[in-house]
């Protein structure tokens, strides 16, 4: 953890870039102003620092942005994530600000590219994977991302994956791995999508649904064939008789139920 009186130049330069892009000065970001535009700008700085410097804790981010407490940073990130989820146009604005100023500085690692690929495959914005939303579809994608990262990069520890996924606890990653295995066992769409991501291919959502539909169709066809064969074997085991009057083969039971007064089998029964 950094000392309170020592702030690295790179994170501070990141804050300065974001502040300038949003029309503020670094002094305004560091100050205690409560204007809503300034509060949002400060929250965007929190998010930019977390994305740019994955190793920073919330305590360190708070120290960089005006010596604030970690609870303030956590609350700000949660509020920002909720607003970005509710307002897509605001989410696009935040992404433009962060990517526009930091795009060339961001460390493009295979693990980060994989995280982005998972977000694209599930039709979500990347910030939702590292956010705190508990919406079911987002949680499924977040858990799948943890699973893909662990399968594609076995050398990554649970702690490192936890940092990549927004500074979570390693026990959360363990739960995500188990939950994804259970979901894949009962959801063919999810299984196809995750396996494609593990293989390094970025599946389009429609592709995953199509492949799953084909897989389900093949399985259904096999089941139907097995049923037909079983029924055919059972029918072959039942002796059938041919009625010249009715002109078709029937079992003895069917002959007894026949209503035709010309049925020779019914009369014989």
The pLDDT score that the predictor gives to residue 78 is 86
Of 106, 137, 172, which closes a domain?
106
- One domain, residues 215 and 159: yes
Would you say the C-alpha torsion 203, 175, 108, 157 has a positive or negative sign? negative
Round to whole Å and give the CA distance between 145 and 182.
Answer: 15
- Which range marks the domain in which residue 260 is found? 238-269
Round to whole Å and give the CA distance between 17 and 25.
Answer: 9
Q: Which residue has the higher pLDDT, 108 or 174?
A: 174
In the numeric block, the tokens 């433009």 are attached to 96
Q: Which residue has the higher pLDDT, 70 or 7?
A: 70
- One domain, residues 226 and 117: yes
Q: Kindly write down the DSSP assignment for every residue of 18-69, as one continuous string.
A: HHHHTT--HHHHHS----HHHHHHHHHHHHHHHHH-TT--HHHHHHHTTS--
Q: Measuring CA to CA, how many Å separate 216 from each of 131, 212, 223, 244?
A: 33, 6, 10, 44
Mean pLDDT, residues 80-90 taken together: 84
In the numeric block, the tokens 């974001």 are attached to 18
Mean pLDDT, residues 253-260 taken together: 63
Of 48, 76, 106, which closes a domain?
106
Give every CB contact of residue 1 below 8 A, 6+ residues apart in sequence.
57, 59, 60
| Buried/exposed 229-254: b ≥16 CB within 10 Å, e otherwise | eeeeeeeeeeeeeebeebeeebeeeb
Residues 241, 245, 247, 251: what is their CA dihedral angle, to the nearest 10 degrees? Answer: -30
Of 106, 125, 149, which closes a domain?
106
Is pTM, for the whole model, over 0.75? no
- One domain, residues 8 and 48: yes
3 state DSSP class of 195:
helix
- One domain, residues 5 and 100: yes
Lowest-pLDDT range, 3-17, 22-36, 39-53?
A: 3-17
Could you read off the pLDDT of 63-77 as tens digits, one per residue?
889 888 888 988 888
- One domain, residues 77 and 182: no
Round to whole Å and give the CA distance between 126 and 204.
Answer: 16
- One domain, residues 52 and 119: no
Q: Cβ(31)–Cβ(66) under 8 Å?
A: yes
The mean of the pLDDT values for the chain is 75
pLDDT of 232 above 70: no
Give every CB contact of residue 263 below 8 A, 6+ residues apart in sequence.
243, 245, 246, 255
- One domain, residues 83 and 153: no
Q: Which residue has the higher pLDDT, 175 or 51?
A: 175
Each as own residue / partner, the long-range contacts of residues 57-63 (CB below 8 Å, 24 or more positions apart, any chain) are 57/1, 57/167, 58/167, 59/1, 60/1, 60/2, 63/2, 63/4, 63/7
- One domain, residues 221 and 248: no
Percentage of the chain exceeding pLDDT 90: 13
pLDDT of 163 above 80: no
pLDDT of 224 above 60: no
- One domain, residues 85 and 6: yes
Q: Cβ(30)–Cβ(61) under 8 Å?
A: no
3 state DSSP class of 203:
coil
pLDDT of 172 above 50: yes
How many structural domains does the chain have? 3
The pLDDT score that the predictor gives to residue 185 is 93
Q: What would the two tokens of residue 191 be?
A: 């299984």
Give the pLDDT band (50/70/90) at residue 105: very low
The pLDDT score that the predictor gives to residue 228 is 46
- One domain, residues 125 and 96: no
pLDDT of 87 above 60: yes
- One domain, residues 113 and 94: no
- One domain, residues 150 and 75: no
The pLDDT score that the predictor gives to residue 53 is 75
Give the pLDDT band (50/70/90) at residue 261: low
pLDDT of 88 above 60: yes
Round to whole Å and give the CA distance between 2 and 7.
Answer: 7
CATH of the domain at 194: 1.10.1750.10
Give the pLDDT band (50/70/90) at residue 217: low
């Amino acid at each position: 953890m950094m000392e309170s009186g020592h702030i690295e130049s790179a994170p501070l330069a990141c804050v300065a870039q974001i502040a300038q892009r949003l029309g503020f000065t670094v002094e305004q970001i560091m100050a205690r102003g409560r204007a809503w535009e300034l509060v949002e700008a400060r929250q965007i700085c929190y998010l930019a620092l977390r994305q740019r410097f994955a190793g920073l804790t919330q305590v360190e981010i708070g120290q960089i942005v005006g010596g604030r407490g970690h609870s303030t940073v956590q609350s700000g990130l949660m509020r920002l994530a909720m607003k970005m989820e509710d307002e897509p146009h605001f989410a696009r604005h935040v992404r433009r600000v962060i990517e526009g100023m930091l795009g060339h500085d961001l460390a493009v690692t295979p693990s980060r590219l994989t995280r982005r690929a998972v977000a694209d495959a599930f039709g979500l914005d990347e910030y939702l994977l590292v956010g705190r939303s508990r919406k079911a579809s987002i949680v499924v994608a977040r858990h799948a991302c943890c699973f893909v990262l662990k399968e594609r990069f076995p050398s990554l520890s649970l702690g490192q994956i936890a940092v990549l996924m927004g500074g979570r606890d390693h026990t959360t990653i363990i739960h995500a791995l188990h939950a994804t295995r259970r979901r894949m066992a009962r959801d063919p769409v999810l299984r196809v999508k995750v396996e494609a991501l593990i293989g390094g291919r970025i599946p389009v959502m429609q592709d995953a649904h199509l492949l799953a539909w084909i897989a389900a169709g093949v399985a259904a066809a096999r089941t139907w064939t097995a049923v037909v064969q079983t029924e055919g074997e059972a029918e072959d085991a039942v002796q059938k008789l041919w009625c010249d009057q009715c002109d078709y083969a029937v079992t003895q039971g069917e002959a007894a139920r026949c209503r035709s007064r010309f049925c020779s089998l019914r009369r014989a029964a």
